[in-house]
Amino acid sequence: MTDTKTIEIITKYSLVNLDLKGSGKGWEYYYASMPLCVVDSVFSIGVKYEGVTNTVSRLVKYYNIGNRAKRKHTIPDKKDQISTTKFLSLFGDNKAEFLSKEVFGNKQRTSTTNGILKVEAVLRFLNVLKDFNIEYYQDIEKVINNNSFDFCIKNIPGQKSGISLKYFLMLSGSKDLIKPDRMVLRFLETATGKKYSLDDCQTVLTAVTNEINKLGYDLTPQLLDNAIWNFQRVH
């Protein structure tokens, strides 16, 4: 799917349809604390993003904590973040069932068949981060391309595909990663008339980013993904 002709077609389609000059990241990339990226990445799978925004809003309101960072394009200082350990302590001894009803206001499951509550998946995700000493945004680099970390996250029910993991890393600041979801698939299929797998998305968007940048743009795969998301949500 990364032959020269296909990449050329997708590049042209992107240039015609996407707002690449105005593709700065929206506020969804600037959470006040890194653990909120976990909530977003787990709850965003298979649903409209407005529902995710509402879920995060209920959570931060319940605990009276910050939602968005004070400034875009800047990683918050550690002193302004809530650490993974502190975030977990907010939940106390409350079980996922209580949290899903009273705190998150969201009883969605990772799958309609034998899935666990997404809140439970968030708790497990956060505990993996804690086990790997990932407390703040500044720690994320420790687990980029870390196979052991990837294995632990993908071993959480509903996380096997790795979509939430890649999205979490993207939200946490990895500019080279994208969220390989239905928005990207629809965009690529419309551009080329071909079917793509989720595994194709990262490779294809990286190649397209490189081609677009030859024309004087300063994109990253992350920014291209965001431009596609903004386009697809209204088409």
Compute the mean pLDDT over every residue in the chain, rounded to the nearest whole number.
90
Q: What is the mean pLDDT of residues 64-84?
A: 85
The 10s digit of each residue's pLDDT in 126-145 is: 999 999 999 999 999 899 88
Judge if 166 and 97 occupy the same domain.
Answer: yes
Q: What is the pTM of this model?
A: 0.76
Distance of CA 155 to the CA centre of its chain: 18
Question: What distances in angstroms separate CA 179 from CA 26, 51, 224, 226, one per listed residue?
Answer: 15, 17, 11, 9
Judge if 114 and 128 occupy the same domain.
Answer: yes
| Planar angle of CA 157, 161, 163, nearest 5 degrees | 105
The 10s digit of each residue's pLDDT in 33-72 is: 999 999 999 999 888 888 999 999 999 999 999 988 776 6
Judge if 117 and 59 occupy the same domain.
Answer: yes
Judge if 40 and 21 occupy the same domain.
Answer: no
The number of domains in the chain is 2
The 10s digit of each residue's pLDDT in 134-188 is: 999 999 989 988 999 999 999 999 999 998 998 899 888 777 777 778 889 999 9
Name the residue range of residue 20's domain: 4-26+179-232
Q: Which two three-digit tokens encode residue 132? A: 């790997």
Judge if 205 and 111 occupy the same domain.
Answer: no
